[in-house]
């Protein structure tokens, strides 16, 4: 469609999550007070100083190579086994992890600037990582039509912002855990789709979630309250100017579109219109001579002089065909909106969007209406969530105090990573509910619904779920003693 580029850019900006938002804020902060470059000579002089690499890798770098490196290698290997877009995206993931390692290594020999992460010297250090994250997410957005691999691409694009822990202060490890949960939502889809088929997809999904688990453990152990810098190290700005940067230049802008072809020449046989309005008025001004071009009617063609013509049936003029009734106008789609009023969130009328609600409180209630093919993520602990009149919509939740309600929906998916007391499903056709180990005490109440399944984790197998279909057939028997009674039995599912 004609607005694909604009729509994808808008979606991309929304889905960079907290990581890239933070990185962009830092980049914007530099623009306001970046020094004006002086006129450079024609040939740059050779730098008098060069970077001095530490004689031994710092513990943080060594631990990265020992823990994160092998987990990354397994993911890249699993991606190569699938190939195509998955392997292409994995190459960008490998580059993003490489940029992160470069940042960690730089921090081991440099001290944090006085302005902190908002310093102009930090922005060039973070730019390559930001570019890799953007390209990973963009690859997913450009290939939404690849139904067979869209869950794979979404798994990575939802999880890769975990590398934004570099810019997160105080609690970077919990931040990476949140990104892992977002990725796991799509990874579970991959596992479910291929659990009885090609196992390399299952291995791939588990390798990526395992990589994020390894990253979280590394951050928790070595950067508990944020990226650790060398308090007695070099000045970051001087260190960056010490030698040629290993950071590759940003990719060139896409080539300009091909100019439109020149207008086609007029057809060879077409003659110019003669006369125009002058010819029209010339015809009108002929006066009595205007009738000279009329043909004289012969007597044999006159019905009053030729009786044989009166015997023929009169020619009936054809009636014009009735115009078909215009089709009824489609109902006008209401504008999409996400609004917080008091303690109540209202999300409605979105189509094929991914919505994140992260500014939540314990007293908040989230109501979702008329959404089609959307993924809605609610972060934090809230009171209740309800989906009404939604189609092919998925919701990812943490913990609910009250309940999750599904009403008049078609083909929903709900994953609860924490726990909720109750799930209510009413007048709904098709649904999948994923519970966590902490949520096995959840009560699921259904009415006037069909094709519902609940999946619970398999003990000892991370990422594997056992699917339990909910019965929708009931058998009733009747008896009469002192009064009439009815007994209802659930018809058990075979297998």
d(CA 86, CA 139): 10
DSSP 271: P
Ramachandran sector of residue 40 (left: φ over 0; alpha: ψ -120 to 50; beta: rest): beta
pLDDT (0 to 100) of residue 37: 43
Structure-model confidence comparison of residues 372 and 178, the more confident one: 372
pLDDT score for 244: 38
**pLDDT classification of 321: cutoffs 50, 70, 90:** low
Q: State the DSSP code for 65.
A: I
What pLDDT, on a 0 to 100 scale, did the predictor assign at position 329?
A: 58
Q: Any idea which residue has 């292409």 for tokens?
A: 88
Q: For the purposes of burial, counting CB atoms within 10 Å of the CB of 113, is it exposed (0-12), middle (13-18) or buried (19 or more)?
A: middle
Q: Which two tokens stand for residue 403?
A: 């309940």
Question: Residue 59: which pLDDT band, with cuts at 50, 70 and 90?
Answer: confident
Terminal CA-CA length for the chain: 46
Our CA angle for 385, 391, 396, nearest 5°, is: 40
| 409 CB neighbour count, 10 Å cutoff | 24
Q: Which has more confidence, 47 or 260?
A: 260
Enter the tokens of residue 174. 């919990």
Residues 129-144 have a mean pLDDT of 90
Per-residue pLDDT of 376-407, as tens digits, reads 999 999 999 999 999 999 999 999 999 999 99
The β-bridge relationship of strands 354-357 and 375-378 is parallel
Bridge partners (DSSP) of residue 357 are: 378
Residue 476 pLDDT more than 80?
A: yes
What percentage of the chain has pLDDT greater than the value 70? 69
pLDDT tens per residue, range 93-124: 999 999 999 999 998 989 888 888 878 888 88
Per the structure block, which two tokens stand in for 392? 């092919």
Is a pLDDT exceeding 80 seen at residue 415? yes
Strands 365-369 vs 344-348: parallel, antiparallel or unpaired: parallel
- Model confidence at 248, pLDDT cuts 50, 70, 90, reads very low
Alpha-helical runs (H) found in 115-198: 123-142, 150-159, 172-194
Neighbours of 430 (CB within 10 A): 16
Per-residue model confidence (pLDDT) at position 389: 93
């Amino acid at each position: 469609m004609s607005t694909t580029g604009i729509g994808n850019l808008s979606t991309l900006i929304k889905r960079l999550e907290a990581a890239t938002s933070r990185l962009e804020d830092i980049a914007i902060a530099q623009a306001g007070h970046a020094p004006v470059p002086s006129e450079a000579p024609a040939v740059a002089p050779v730098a008098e100083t060069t970077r001095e690499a530490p004689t031994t890798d710092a513990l943080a770098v060594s631990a990265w190579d020992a823990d994160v490196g092998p987990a990354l290698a397994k993911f890249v290997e699993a991606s190569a086994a699938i190939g195509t877009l998955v392997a292409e995206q994995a190459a960008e993931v490998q580059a993003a992890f490489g940029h992160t390692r470069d940042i960690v290594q730089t921090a081991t020999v440099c001290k944090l600037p006085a302005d902190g992460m908002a310093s102009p010297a930090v922005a060039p250090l973070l730019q390559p990582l930001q570019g890799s994250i953007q390209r990973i997410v963009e690859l997913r957005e450009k290939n939404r039509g690849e139904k067979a691999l869209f869950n794979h691409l979404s798994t990575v694009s939802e999880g890769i912002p975990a590398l934004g822990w570099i810019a997160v202060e105080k609690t970077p490890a919990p931040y990476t855990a949140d990104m892992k949960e977002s990725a796991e939502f799509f990874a579970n889809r991959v596992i479910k789709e291929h659990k009885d088929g090609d196992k390399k997809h299952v291995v791939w999904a588990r390798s990526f979630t395992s990589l994020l688990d390894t990253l979280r453990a590394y951050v928790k152990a070595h950067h508990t309250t944020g990226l650790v810098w060398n308090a007695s190290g070099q000045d970051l700005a001087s260190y960056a100017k010490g030698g040629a940067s290993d950071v590759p230049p940003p990719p060139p802008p896409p080539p300009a579109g091909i100019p439109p072809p020149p207008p086609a020449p007029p057809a060879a046989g077409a003659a110019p219109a003669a006369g125009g309005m002058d010819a029209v008025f010339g015809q009108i001004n002929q006066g009595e001579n205007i009738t000279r071009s009329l043909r004289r009617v012969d007597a044999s063609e006159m019905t009053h002089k030729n009786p044989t013509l009166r015997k023929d049936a009169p020619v009936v003029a054809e009636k014009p065909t009735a115009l078909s009734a215009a089709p009824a106008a489609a109902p006008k789609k209401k504008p999409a909106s996400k609004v917080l009023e008091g303690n109540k969130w209202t999300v409605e009328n979105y189509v094929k969007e991914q919505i994140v609600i992260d500014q939540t409180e314990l007293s908040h209630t989230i109501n979702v209406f008329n959404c089609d093919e959307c993924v809605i993520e609610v972060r934090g602990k809230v009171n209740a969530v309800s989906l009404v009149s939604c189609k092919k919509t998925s919701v990812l939740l943490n913990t609910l105090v009250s309940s999750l309600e599904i009403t008049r929906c078609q083909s929903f998916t709900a994953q609860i990573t924490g726990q909720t007391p109750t799930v209510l499903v009413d007048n709904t056709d098709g649904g999948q509910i994923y519970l966590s180990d902490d949520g096995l005490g959840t009560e699921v109440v259904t009415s006037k619904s069909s094709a519902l399944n609940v999946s619970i984790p398999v003990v000892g197998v991370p990422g594997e779920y056992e699917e339990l279909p909910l019965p929708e057939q009931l058998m009733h028997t009747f008896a009469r003693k002192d009064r009439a009674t009815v007994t209802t039995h659930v018809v058990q599912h075979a297998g």
